[in-house]
Amino acid sequence: MWNNAKDRMLRERATEVIPGGMYGHQSVALMPEDTPQFFIKAEGTRITDVDGNVYIDFMCAYGPNLLGYNHPDVMRAVSDQQSRIDASTGPSPLIVDLAEAMVSMISHADWAMFCKNGSDATMMALMIARAYRGKRKVLVARKAYHGSMPWSTPRPAGVVDEDRAHVIYFDYGDPQSLKDAVVSADGDLAGIFATPYRHDVFADQSMPDREYAQVARDLADEHDALLIVDDVRAGFRVTRDCTWESIGVRPDLSAWGKVLGNGQPISALMGNNRARDAASQIYATGSYWFAAVPMAAALETLRIIRETKYLEDMHRIGKAFRDGLNAQAKDIGIGVRCTGPETLPMLQFEDDPDFRVCYGFCRAAMKRGVYLSPYHNMFTNAAMTETDIAQTLEATGAAFEEIKSNRASLQPSTKVMAMTGS
């Protein structure tokens, strides 16, 4: 029987010693009531919370779990490397092997730099774009997430206007808005940040339009600025290359993270020869950026990406999940919208302005052992099987029944409404 007694106790303790009880994207403040905050085990497709409840995990650590938690080949590479060298006085030869492997896989790229988190990679992209011609303005799509640094964090606390003085916003997917933003850069354009597809929170996801992507490329060329694709979230879940390669538009820089080490801490910035000099001029580093163990994990993850049909399997399984949800919703007469790539599915409900139905649904699924998000795109992984999807759909089928029968008692998600301004 599901219970969360230990989780509640830990939350109380956390409130005393961790600001706000928890911070950042893994805080459950925006998740449905009772969503567990603390976990003690992750294996394959499953996570176990501190009370021992097991979930099929459709958040995948918010992305890093690509091949299954504790993938045996990746973990073998980790333990082999651990016995030799990890963080040390200089990088291991693996940094060259890994740069070569990434350069051979990412078509637009001639070089690689490694760091820890996606925010490090996007920050380096920003610095390189400015170092490139000494210009200042960067264009960023409204509501697009590029990490938690002051220039991009979604919350205003601790950010001063000067941190964003040279950021100009445009509407994602709208060529005219992009052109207008370039005009307002007034000859001072350093770079254009592009999200590979629109994956904002609380919003339908939409795939990039080739024309829009080409306009971004042309504008960058015309103004001798750098085009940056932020593949931190979508990388290797859409293609085995930079995501925009599939629509035939090549950036100068692309930012990578999350999946790269299948859960081991490593991210990357990839770039072309145009950006090489600027990249060699910036000073960006960190005590753990050169550690060898995550690089060993990344090399093994990349080998699996190249040599197996993990991506095709993920698309098939993701489609089964999406088709199943759509069929259940239709049968029961509840309107849903499933958007985004099948490997990064987003679920929203029709006629749900205060999110009560979506939150009620995810809570009901959670109590039946399926961890979903009501506001963020979800993630599938290559360890998921047809059996996992059948078990998932059993839980979601019951969750649909539950929200249909108790719709009148579902509570509006006031915290969410306050945050989204709904």
Ligand X SMILES: Cc1ncc(COP(=O)(O)O)c(C=O)c1O
Contact 146, 192 (CB under 8 A): no
Nearer to ligand X, 85 or 419 (CB): 419
Question: Looking up tokens 């409900």, which residue turns up?
Answer: 349
CB atoms within 10 A of CB 93: 10
Supply 265's token pair.
Answer: 């801490």
CB count in 10 Å sphere of residue 124 = 22
Rounded CA separation 144/151 (Å): 12
Comparing CB distances to ligand X, the nearer of 114 and 361 is 114
* Shortest reach from residue 192's CB to ligand X, in Å: 15
State the nearest-atom distance from the C-beta of 146 to ligand X, in Å. Answer: 5
Q: How far is the CB of 126 from ligand X (least distance, A)?
A: 12
CB of 196 to ligand X, least distance (A): 8
- Cβ neighbourhood burial of 292 (10 Å; 0-12, 13-18, 19+): buried
Q: What is the DSSP code string of 87-114?
A: S-SS--THHHHHHHHHHHHSTT-SEEEE
Q: Which is nearer to ligand X, 7 or 342 (CB)?
A: 342
- How many Å apart are CA 384 and CA 397, to the nearest integer? 19
Nearest approach, Cβ of residue 118 and ligand X (Å): 2
Least distance to ligand X, CB of residue 376, Å: 9
Q: Which is nearer to ligand X, 95 or 259 (CB)?
A: 259
Question: Which CB atom, from 45 or from 117, has the smaller least distance to ligand X?
Answer: 117
Element (H, E) at 315: helix 310-332
In the complex, least distance from residue 321 CB atom to ligand X, rounded to whole angstroms: 21
Closer Cβ to ligand X, 147 or 341, answer by number:
147
Check the CA dihedral 306-85-71-196 and report its sign: negative
Cβ contacts of 236 within 8 Å, gap of 6 or more: 66, 259, 305, 311
Question: What are the structure tokens assigned to 217, written together?
Answer: 């490329």
Q: Where are the alpha helices (DSSP H) in 111-241?
A: 118-133, 175-185, 210-222
Nearer to ligand X, 50 or 249 (CB): 249
User: Where along the sequence are the contacts to ligand X (CB under 6 A)?
Assistant: 62, 117-119, 122, 145-147, 230, 232-233, 257
Place of tokens 């069929």: 327
Q: Which is nearer to ligand X, 141 or 365 (CB)?
A: 141
At residue 295, what are phi and psi to the nearest 5 degrees? -70, -40
123/410 with CB nearer ligand X: 123
How does strand 54-57 pair with strand 46-49? antiparallel
- How many angstroms separate the CA atoms of 258 and 264, rounded? 9
For residue 61, the minimal CB distance to ligand X (Å) is 10
CB of 234 to ligand X, least distance (A): 7
Question: Among all residues, whose Cβ is closest to ligand X?
Answer: 118
Alpha-carbon distance 388 to 293, whole Å? 31
Where helices occur in 258-309 by DSSP H, the ranges are: 276-281, 292-307
Residue nearer to ligand X on the CB measure, 257 or 397: 257
Least CB distance from residue 120 to ligand X, whole Å?
7
